[in-house]
Amino acid sequence: MKIAVLPGDGIGPEIVGQALRVVDRLRSDGLDLEIEQAPIGGAGYDEQGDPLPAATLDLAKSADAVLLGAVGGPRYDQLPRQARPEQGLLRIRKELGLFANLRPALVYKELSRASSLRAELVEDLDLMILRELTGDIYFGQPRGQRKTDSGEREGFDTMRYSESEIRRIAHVAFGIAGKRNRKLCSVDKANVLDTSILWREVVTEVGKEYPDVELTHMYVDNAAMQLVRAPKQFDVMLTGNMFGDILSDEASMLTGSIGMLPSASLDANKKGLYEPIHGSAPDIVGKNQANPLATILSVAMMLRYTFAMDEAAQRVENAVRTVLGQGLRTPDIFEAGTTRIGTTQMGDAVVAAL
């Protein structure tokens, strides 16, 4: 089992470093995991002038799974769009056909009080956000900047979804919901956008093949509100690329911190790229403050979804629970009565719990 490891930028190398210690521990217990590292994002640009160097893409293609930290940072913000670190991430998602992005928001009992919401609103929350990842306004053409007839600059992007793109993500969503509490809420803006009208039609059609899953639809503005009003009404939330980007960051705060949310980006054959949902956190780089748990939990998702090793996945998740039960907290989830520790100490604790 070969894993391509792409640490990226900012806190990426710090959190991936801790996740690799977890992988090492699993390896020494007998899992046959092989690892190879390569640069992506700003690191790719610095080393090879490209946020997704050809060798990195080749490695990712030849591996069974990819573990990624984060990309981006202020040093690169003035580059033209194509050279920016974020393009490396978008291109690898597209090149590998990773259209299904699973972003589970799980509230650990120990962290109910770390949430931005009152504990009773989030206790035992287990929400799966399924975000379409290779379409929408992120990739739609035409896009760019131009001069209008009156001579001022205009920027434009195109939101678009084809029927087949909607259909395949809808099948994934119903499949996931069928294995959970069989409630699927599709989130769109069908009161305004043609793209969303088609989205809703196609999701409804696909739903006819899954009579045991209850399908509802919600406008994205209401969904953003409902997520902080009563998040436990949701089981699986299905949405497009941009709405999913925004709603998953919002949902992360229900769990206590964006540093807790892992993700899996899957293709049609369960090949996957695994990464925390957060970014490179320039404000805390090099301070030993980043929470590595989202990345460590991404390793658990990798074991479950790509390698079908449920037991090993659970072992990692249980280790995270143990550590939280011991009261150990990075600053982002710290609260009175717990013990504040750093990134590497959190790694120590998880490895010890394993």
Residues engaged in binding ligand IPM (CB under 6 A): 72, 86, 89-90, 245, 277, 279
Q: Which stretch binds ligand NAD (CB under 6 A): 154-162, 192-200, 272-280, 300-308?
A: 272-280
Q: Are strands 126-132 and 100-106 parallel, antiparallel or unpaired?
A: antiparallel
Q: Give the Cα separation of 291 and 280 in Å (integer).
A: 12
Active site residue 221: yes
267 belongs to the binding site for ligand NAD (CB under 6 A) = no
Please name every residue paired with 265 in a beta bridge, in sequence order, or none if there are none.
Answer: 101, 273
Angle subtended by helix axes 293-305 and 12-28, to nearest 10:
50
Active site residue 270: no
Q: How far is the CB of 56 from ligand IPM (least distance, A)?
A: 16
List the x/- string, 247-266, binding to ligand NAD by CB under 6 A: -----------xx-------
Nearest residue (CB) to ligand NAD, 190 versus 227: 227
88 belongs to the binding site for ligand NAD (CB under 6 A) = no
Among 52, 281, 299, 300, binds ligand NAD (CB under 6 A): 281
298 belongs to the binding site for ligand NAD (CB under 6 A) = no
Interacting residues of 254 by C-beta distance below 8 A, sequence separation 6+: 105, 107, 115, 116, 117, 122, 125, 127, 227, 228, 231
Nearest residue (CB) to ligand IPM, 161 versus 210: 161
Whether 254 and 115 have beta carbons less than 8 Å apart is answered as yes
User: Running DSSP on this structure, what letter comes out for residue 19?
Assistant: H
Residue 310's binding partner out of ligand IPM, Mn ion, ligand NAD, none, with CB under 5 to 8 Å set by partner kind = none
Q: Give the Cα separation of 306 and 237 in Å (integer).
A: 22
Select from 33, 11, 9 the least CA-distant residue to 21: 33
73 belongs to the binding site for ligand NAD (CB under 6 A) = yes
Residue 93: C-alpha distances to residues 10, 57, 97, 224, 225 (Å): 20, 10, 6, 25, 29
Nearest residue (CB) to ligand NAD, 16 versus 309: 16
Active site residue 136: no
Residues that bind Mn ion in the complex, under the rule CB under 5 A: 245
